[in-house]
Amino acid sequence: MARLAKDLEAHKADLNLTIVGINTTLGANEKGIRKEIEDHKLKPFATVHDRTGVICGEYGVKWKDLYTIVVVDADGKVLGKKPNMDDLPAAKGVLADVKVPSGAEAAARMFSLQQFGLMEQELVKLPPSADLKAFREALKKKIDDYTSKRLPQLTAMGETNPLTAYHEAAAFVTAFPASKEASAARSLASRLSSKPEVKKETEAETAYNMVVAPEVVKATTLAVYDKKVKPLLDGYMTRYGDTKFGGAVKAMHEVILNSLKGIKT
Amino acid sequence: MRAHVLPVLTAALLMSAACLADSDAPPLAGSTWIGTPVSLNAVRGNTVVLIFWNYDTPC
């Protein structure tokens, strides 16, 4: 991760940049990821565990690319992969219209990374002042503006793409637990989770992680895979093969099988 | 699990992944977040860098 550390150091004060880590180790657990983050100083930005390879698939990231950077521009468009964080596109920045008081740069950076708990930790270190008060109010207004606009978007998304809306609503509640929209977002997530298409997808994920995944981690040879994993997988696919998650599992296991057979993919 | 198998698992959908250049960034739908979950929608206005890494990424 030396390259990553160098990249991060070069951009640690960039308020117009948001970084998100995506851990792609399927056999990993949260404790292990936290340890890696600590060991390699992959913070203070957030990391999401791409447990199933779905994010990798959607962004076209290959497993052989052990360290991949994908850049998204200020309008939310994917610009593609880059070898490093040099020559990033210019952005106006989410805080372009906010005056950052001297000493509050770290708090502003945490806002840019959407790490609001860390932002608060930085803000409370600062001596009270009129500038700081105005800065706090500006940040709060930005968060309030976002949450008030986001809830109707999530509600509309629930009609057209309930599974994504469910995940986004759940993430919204975690990110903005104190917002006035949190309760409605929680209700929305709950309502969406009971929709048959969402329920079956979440069940498919839970079942895979509880039943199949523990055996996959132990299957280091084809013989063990055939004996321990295949029967479980066959049963799993019978029940969940028609889900989006089941489709990802099927593709994933084809790659695992080829790997165990020594076939390069 | 063998180290070389781990990254292979992440290839679930890569076979069919289309080039996403200039398309809307898909949401980061993950159930496990270390830190506050980030919605790409919330950071419109910033450049966003997504860093994909795994345990086998060389140190």
- Give, in order, the Cα–Cα distances in Å from A136 to each of A48, A98, A101, A229: 28, 10, 10, 53
Domain range for B23 is 1-59
Looking at every residue in chain A, the average pLDDT score rounds to 91
> What burial class does residue B59 get, using C-beta atoms within 10 Å of its C-beta: 0-12 exposed, 13-18 middle, 19+ buried?
exposed
Q: Are A134 and A104 in contact, with CB atoms under 8 Å apart?
A: no
Number of folded domains that form chain B: 1
- pLDDT-above-70 percentage for chain A: 96
> In this model, does residue A230 exceed pLDDT 70?
yes
Residues of A in contact with B46 (CB under 8 A): 16-18, 74, 91, 93-94, 112
H-assigned helices in chain A: 2-10, 30-40, 54-59, 105-112, 116-123, 130-160, 162-175, 182-193, 196-207, 213-218, 222-224, 230-240, 244-260
Q: Report the distance separating Cα A187 and Cα A190, nearest Å.
A: 5
Measured distance between the N- and C-terminal CA atoms of chain A, rounded to whole angstroms = 25
End-to-end Cα separation, chain B, in angstroms: 20
What number of C-beta contacts closer than 8 Å exist between A and B? 303
What does the angle CA A41 – CA A83 – CA A50 come to, to the nearest 5 degrees? 55
- Per-residue model confidence (pLDDT) at position A144: 96
Is any Cβ of chain A less than 8 angstroms from the Cβ of B3? no
Q: What is the pLDDT of residues A21-45, one digit of tens each?
A: 999 886 677 888 999 999 888 989 9
pLDDT for res A24:
86
ipTM: 0.86
Reported as a pLDDT band with limits 50, 70 and 90, residue A8 is confident
Q: Is the pLDDT of residue A265 over 60?
A: no
Pairing of the two strands A46-49 and A17-23: parallel
Could you read off the pLDDT of A121-148 as tens digits, one per residue? 999 999 999 999 999 999 999 999 999 9
Contact criterion met (CB < 8 Å) for A56 and B9: no
Closest Cβ–Cβ partner in B37, B45, B52 for A22: B52
Give the 3-state secondary structure of residue B44.
strand
Place of tokens 């799993």: A236
- CB–CB contact A252 B11 (8 Å): yes
Tell me the average pLDDT across A226-246. Answer: 94
Stretch (H or E) spanning B32: strand B32-34
Say yes or no to pLDDT of B29 above 80: no
Stronger pLDDT, A19 or A218, i.e. the higher one: A19
Most A CBs within 10 A among B2, B34, B56, hence the mutation to make, goes to B34
